[in-house]
Structure 1
């Protein structure tokens, strides 16, 4: 049985959800699924995969699905007591404390000194 047969439900779901730039290929006994879609559809695809391989032990699928809505422009964040730039950055995959600092240099003189209530831009 080919991997495309094994994971036909997953592939069909990606196709019916109109995943942009969808590419499905088998290479070295691994099925690669690439494309971009919303976070919601991406989560649904992962849920389907988990049903097909509940413990994800087969290690025969690589899903490189980009969540397009996660690539939004900048967002706002209101600093809470106990926050620092590193702690805030952990909430935004792919964003470092330096990225936040650079986006807010107009209001942050020292990256170690931010204040509760301060409104920061989180870059996209």
Structure 2
């Protein structure tokens, strides 16, 4: 009976990470829609990179939700004693693998974000210094 409680204790941690990722996606969407699209000529090189970043982040969020859903389903099924302990471990393992894939996309996002920002700042400075 205690194993399903452990699974539920993971949910707040994942929810915090998901909230952060969702805020990042909203901020990036806002940046694309408001700042970059208002000056397409100057940021024509940056826009496709930012859109690709938004795709990476969206995939990561989707995978995190899927992982979270599996953990909740697992806790429910184990709590109601519908599935055996072996199946519980399998569901948790799958959820963790999915979450690690999501983290991979977030790492890719973060790595690329640095270089994209550098390009963007150079463009911004060249426009404002000229």
TM-score normalised by length of structure 2: 0.26
Q: Which gives a bigger RCO, structure 1 or 2 (Cα 8 Å, sep 6+)?
A: 2
Larger relative helix fraction: 2
TM-score normalised by length of structure 1: 0.26
